[in-house]
Amino acid sequence: AQTVTQSQPEMSVQEAETVTLSCTYDTSESDYYLFWYKQPPSRQMILVIRQEAYKQQNATENRFSVNFQKAAKSFSLKISDSQLGDAAMYFCAYRAPSANSKLTFGKGITLSVRP
């Protein structure tokens, strides 16, 4: 069974600085998808970034980028120029390649941003 591990329960970053959130996973599949979701205090889950395992290039979305290390099964999220609105709970998630597969979530990490 696939597992997703987020070992840091909380992190803090100074506004305008850069922070990296860690995530590791375990799977026997060679093709799969990885995601980072953000859940602000409103509790609405928001897709931050998506990575296909077959792509070597790391995904980027504006201030958000990932460091995808397939051999190490590591998928970290880097937030550059942190903003107060980035404060939220962040979840790393894995999905198998078959259509309509479920997501396997990590436990999440609470990110606080200091003004």
Residues at the site binding another protein, with contacts judged by CB under 8 A: 33, 35, 37, 42-47, 50, 52, 89, 91, 95, 99-100, 102-103, 105-108, 110
Residue nearer to another protein on the CB measure, 40 or 69: 40
- Give me the least distance between CB of 96 and another protein, in Å please: 11
CA dist 31 and 42 (Å) reads: 33
CA distances from 51 to 2, 41, 55, 96 (A): 17, 25, 8, 12
- Give me the least distance between CB of 66 and another protein, in Å please: 15
Name 74's bridge partners.
Answer: 24, 69
Residue nearer to another protein on the CB measure, 5 or 18: 5
Residue nearer to another protein on the CB measure, 17 or 96: 96
CA distances from 32 to 7, 11, 64, 71, 98 (A): 21, 27, 20, 13, 8
Residue nearer to another protein on the CB measure, 47 or 84: 47
- Give me the least distance between CB of 102 and another protein, in Å please: 6
- Give me the least distance between CB of 32 and another protein, in Å please: 12
Burial of 64 (C-beta count, 10 Å sphere; 0-12/13-18/19+): middle
